[in-house]
Chain A
Amino acid sequence: MNHQQTFSASRVALQLAGRLMPSSHKDWMQAMIAEYETLPHGVSRWQFALGCLQTATYIRCKTRLALALIGRISIGVALIGMGLVGLFWSSTASPSSFTNLICVLCLIYAAIGIAGLFSLNWLSRLAAGGLFLSSISWGFLKLGLIPALGIRPAYLSALSIEASGMMLSLLLITAYLKLIHDDAGRTHGPV
């Protein structure tokens, strides 16, 4: 491996460290990059860059940003999994208004799960929206919409209670994860 390759690879490691480092410690990352530029080419740069990567990982874990990230992805994967299982079940069961309702609910869960994989803000917004809709779904009965769609009111009652509980839990968990995320993002870098 020549010097040029070593140099490039170590820079990639440094860039990865920059990505991993929380925004509250970006100034420290700049300090490390500035120090890296003064190092002689070769192994010392490699060692330094790997150390920076180690530091960035440590800070990320320490600030609990990793917990918020793992939590968000786990929720997303769980909701997508739940949605897929529900869709599989409703496709194999005999078609009825109940299976149709389950199918719609599972599609909504999977969509929320996909949003959760990308953004915590979207997860909490969709959970709040879902909670609102499921809690007012009782009102649809009075409007006469449900019998018109061929859905039994008893099914809707049961599913709206289930969906409300689900969305409320999701909203509480995302609120906690957002709290961790915002707390970790507070700036306390060097002067």
Chain B
Amino acid sequence: MKRNRPPSKSTLRVLETLLSEPHADRYGYELMKTTQLKSGTLYPILMRLTDRGFLESSWRSSPLTGRPPRHAYRLTQAGLAFAQSAILQDGKTVSQPKRKRRA
């Protein structure tokens, strides 16, 4: 049975970046720079999101000659809905005031 855990802070950062321009293709290095995440953190997140069907990836040929094609990432419709709800949920959690302890 799969656990339904809320996404981590790093995943939220990736989702926020992808959501800022949902129909644009994003590349790994660009995502690394925008989210300030290292490749060792970013790629497992991208893999997980792709496995869950929230991200679609495709090979795009480079405009520069002699450069290999790059892998571009974009949110799917399901991913778009997931990102919006996850960010909204995170916002609620952050803005929620802490409960006072009973004496």
Contact = CB atoms under 8 A, between A and B. Distances in A.
Contacts, number: 63
Interface size class of B (residues with CB under 8 A): 20 to 34
Interface in A164-191: 188, 190-191
A185 to B, nearest CB: 16
B57 A51 contact: no
B67 A38 contact: yes
Interface stretch (B4-12, B36-44, B78-86): B36-44
A52 B43 CA distance: 8
Contacts of A32: 28, 39, 43
A47 B38 contact: yes
Contacts of A191: 56-58
Nearest to B31: A35
A51 B32 CA distance: 11
Nearest to A25: B47
Given A31-B57, A31-B71, A38-B29, A188 B39 contact: no
Minimum-distance CB pairs A-B, first 6: A51-B39, A54-B40, A51-B40, A31-B71, A190-B57, A35-B28
Interface of A: 25, 28, 30-35, 37-39, 47-48, 50-55, 58-59, 188, 190-191
Given A28-B43, A38-B62, A191-B57, 9 more contacts: A31-B28, A31-B57, A35-B27, A39-B29, A47-B39, A51-B38, A51-B40, A54-B40, A191-B56
